[in-house]
Amino acid sequence: MGRKLYDLVGEDPACRFSPFCWRSRLALAHKGLDVETIPWRFTETERLGFSGQGKVPVLVDGDSVVPDSWAIACWLEDRYPDRPSLFGGEGGKAVSLFTNSWADGVQHPQVSRMVVADIPPLLAPADRAYFHESRERRFGMPLEQVSADRAERVKTFRREVLHPLRVTLERQPWLGGDAPRYADYIVFGAFQWARVCSAFELLEDGDPVAEWRERVLDFHGGLARATPARPAPGLKGAAA
């Protein structure tokens, strides 16, 4: 059995936008492991029945089935210790767990509020209905209202939420130190999510965080950059 990763896509299978799936795709690339990515959509939960749950990413590696991006990273580190380390030791793993919790609890909610209204047009018709209902129930308001204040919200996001990233990246090129590690992929996943789903720019030119994002886009042979960015309204093609 070959190695497979179930990966969230939009109506167009090339539109791969899950921040959690990006964490796993980059972790696999970091380890130098080939993988077949299997397109999966929100309303196809039955296709994941074999995993015992209904969310992606799900890694199938031989006879092993591993759901959840953090569990996948830990599995890859333990299963392939001879490949480049995702964590750089137990201390790095502990710090990466903190980064994982920060991204899930702080970064993602902020990014979601700024891009969520731009996502439905990218989805297959059945997924659009599901997405509208589930996200409007989560936020307690229409999606258009959720993102209505993003021009102001992004100022606070840049100034406050990104401050610890900016201070770190002013002193070292990667969150992992002198080389990228899983902490970089965790944080990058949310920026890739926004880049693919929305033309609304979260980062300012010249910001060390924006420069770091460009480096991650080009890492592993430009794996992340190969997925097109959402073009601005009225423009053809995709931004770099």
Q: CATH no. for residue 186?
A: 1.20.1050.10
Based on the fold, state whether residues 151 and 37 are members of the same structural domain: no
pTM score: 0.95
Based on the fold, state whether residues 54 and 100 are members of the same structural domain: no
- Residue 127 domain-assigned? yes
Rg (CA), the chain: 17
Place of tokens 């480049």: 84
In angstroms, the CA 37 to CA 93 distance is 26
Instruction: Report helix angle 208-222 to 19-30, nearest 10.
Output: 60
Based on the fold, state whether residues 130 and 36 are members of the same structural domain: no
> In whole angstroms, what separates CA 124 from the centre of its chain?
20
- Residue 231 domain-assigned? no
Based on the fold, state whether residues 131 and 172 are members of the same structural domain: yes
Based on the fold, state whether residues 71 and 174 are members of the same structural domain: no
Task: Give residues with Cβ within 8 angstroms of 85, minimum separation 6.
Answer: 77, 92, 181
| Digitized pLDDT (tens) for each residue of the chain, 240 residues in all | 589 999 999 999 999 999 999 999 999 999 999 999 999 999 999 999 999 999 999 999 999 999 999 999 999 999 999 999 999 999 999 999 999 999 999 999 999 999 999 999 999 999 999 999 999 999 999 999 999 999 999 999 999 999 999 999 999 999 999 999 999 999 999 999 999 999 999 999 999 999 999 999 999 999 999 999 998 765 444 333
Based on the fold, state whether residues 68 and 118 are members of the same structural domain: no
> In whole angstroms, what separates CA 110 from the centre of its chain?
14
Q: Which of 58, 23, 28 is nearest to 191 (CA)?
A: 23
Number of domain units in the chain = 2
Based on the fold, state whether residues 152 and 95 are members of the same structural domain: yes
Based on the fold, state whether residues 37 and 97 are members of the same structural domain: no
